[in-house]
């Protein structure tokens, strides 16, 4: 956004010093982690009356790689959130992709969708899901950023945007309890959140990495406590890349920002939406990360 909206919560985020208010899981067994992501992609939207929110986040940058460093300079990129909504869709979501079918061009999405279309039935511990979710069942939220320096930065933003989406759904529907699981394929991002907010030691300065990561980590921690204080059971979990339908959709959508040239730029500016829903988390934190 060329004119990011002022968010009154930023002052609270900047003061955050607690730890993540939920479980953090990095399963070293890739097969088990993939199975967990697969189950999350297909799980019932309500279990014993409790809403199940399973989010899959991913991000990418222009000319990016896992070895990208801040000294390489600023670049453009984006981050995505894919999830199935257990509630009636009354929340006005920013940057919702209106044509998810186009992601069938992604090989992994196509492969998982093909498996479902071939009458695939998921069975686990005696419970059969005879109506498995498909690509069209997912809500896909897309956010672009014109000033990013690394893949981990936009991957952190994806985690935060997942939490922000969960907060918006809670504030709209007020379930007495809920289960929120956020999946990321970035172990370095999950470990960074696990380390928490890093403070400067006397006589030293934070590294450039931590300078830019701290505001996002503070925001993620604040968001996690907001949800936990409202009866939410929260988990942040690692999944191998493209290990199930949900992660594959997020991965496929992660580079869709490349398609936002003119005349699409006007569409994605979201100028028609209210300020509180228009901007992604990196827009909101732009001035904070550049202090």
- Please check whether residue 15 lies inside any domain of the structure: yes
- Please check whether residue 40 lies inside any domain of the structure: yes
- Please check whether residue 5 lies inside any domain of the structure: no
Give the model's pLDDT for residue 126. Answer: 45
- Please check whether residue 3 lies inside any domain of the structure: no
- Please check whether residue 209 lies inside any domain of the structure: yes
Boundaries of domain holding 177: 10-289
Cα–Cα distance, 269 to 264 (Å, whole number): 9
| Spans of the chain below 50 pLDDT | 1-2, 66-71, 119-130, 262-270, 289-291
For 130, other C-beta atoms within 10 Å of its C-beta total 8
- Please check whether residue 4 lies inside any domain of the structure: no
Give the model's pLDDT for residue 129. Answer: 45
Give the model's pLDDT for residue 176. Answer: 96
φ, ψ of residue 67 to 5 degrees: the values are -100, 10
- Please check whether residue 146 lies inside any domain of the structure: yes
Number of domain units in the chain = 1
Give the model's pLDDT for residue 3. Answer: 52
Give the model's pLDDT for residue 101. Answer: 74
pTM of the model: 0.83
Give the model's pLDDT for residue 88. Answer: 73
Give the model's pLDDT for residue 106. Answer: 81
- Please check whether residue 282 lies inside any domain of the structure: yes
* CATH assignment of the domain containing 67: 3.30.420.10
Give the model's pLDDT for residue 261. Answer: 54
């Amino acid at each position: 956004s060329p004119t990011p909206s002022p968010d009154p919560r930023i002052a609270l985020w900047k003061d955050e010093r607690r730890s993540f208010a939920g479980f953090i899981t990095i399963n070293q067994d890739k097969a088990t982690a993939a199975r967990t992501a697969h189950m999350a992609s297909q799980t019932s939207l309500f279990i014993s009356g409790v809403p199940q929110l399973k989010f899959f986040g991913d991000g990418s940058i222009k000319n990016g790689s896992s070895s990208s460093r801040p000294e390489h300079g600023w670049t453009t990129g984006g981050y995505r959130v894919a999830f199935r909504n257990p509630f009636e869709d009354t929340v006005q979501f920013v940057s919702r992709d209106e044509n998810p079918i186009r992601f069938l061009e992604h090989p992994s999405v196509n492969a998982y969708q093909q498996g479902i279309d071939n009458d695939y039935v998921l069975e686990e511990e005696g419970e059969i899901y005879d109506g498995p979710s498909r690509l069209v069942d997912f809500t896909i939220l897309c956010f672009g950023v014109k000033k990013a320096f690394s893949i981990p930065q936009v991957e952190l933003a994806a985690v935060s945007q997942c939490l922000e989406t969960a907060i918006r759904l809670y504030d709209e529907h007020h379930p007495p309890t809920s289960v929120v699981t956020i999946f990321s394929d970035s172990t370095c991002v999950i470990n960074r959140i696990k380390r928490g907010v890093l403070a400067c030691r006397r006589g030293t300065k934070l590294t450039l990495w931590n300078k830019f990561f701290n505001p996002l980590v503070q925001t993620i921690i604040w968001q996690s406590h907001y949800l936990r204080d409202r009866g939410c059971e929260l988990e942040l979990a690692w999944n191998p890349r493209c290990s199930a339908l949900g992660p594959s959709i997020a991965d496929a959508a992660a580079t869709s920002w490349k398609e936002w040239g003119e005349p699409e730029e006007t569409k994605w500016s979201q100028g028609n939406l209210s300020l509180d829903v228009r901007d992604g988390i990196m827009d909101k934190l732009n001035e904070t990360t550049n202090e």
